[in-house]
Structures are given as structure tokens and as C-alpha cells.
Amino acid sequence: MIGFRLAAQRSPEPRRVADAVVMRFDHVYEVDPALMTEHVRQQEMPAWDTQRIVAGRWDYLAWMHDHWADSVVSGAELEAETDL
């Protein structure tokens, strides 16, 4: 049984990355909480739930690629193959 882990519940403090955007986990962006005080309140989410949503998003995009074609051609690989 996995017991209660505080780190899995509590997200790190946000870092500002742009005028209206903050970041708690790398590449996971949030609207600046100061802009969500009047009409839409920001929800507090446990860290594990944020990670679950992000992972689900990547799964979904991978599913969509697979749905449309057998393979995805990499532009970076093509650039490396040839002097474009």
C-alpha cells in the first residue's frame, strides 16, 4: 500500500515565465493566478492530478497520430540527413 506522500499532493511554488503565465512543473503552464480572481477562480489541484492530465494529453496526441497514419516523419531527422 502506498501511503500519503506530501510531494504527490502539493505542487511546487509557481515561477513566472511570461507576463501572464506561471509554471510549477517544467513545460506545464498556468495562467497567472492574479488574473483569475474576479470571474473564474483558479482551482487548487494535487500535483499527481496535474501530472495525470499532462500525461493524458500526450497519450491523446500519440493516439491521434496513430489514428491517421502508420508513421510520423520527423522534420528534424530530414534536416539532419540533408543540407537543407
The contact set with other proteins (CB under 8 A) reads: 17-18, 20-21, 27-29, 31, 35-40, 61-62, 64-65, 67-76, 78-79, 81-82, 84
SS3 2: coil
Is residue 57 within 8 A of residue 46, CB to CB? The reply is no
Cα–Cα distance for residue pair 68/57, rounded to 1 Å: 17
Give the position of cell 522534420: 75
In the complex, least distance from residue 15 CB atom to other proteins, rounded to whole angstroms: 13
Q: Which CB sits closer to other proteins, 5 or 17?
A: 17
Q: Which CB sits closer to other proteins, 5 or 65?
A: 65
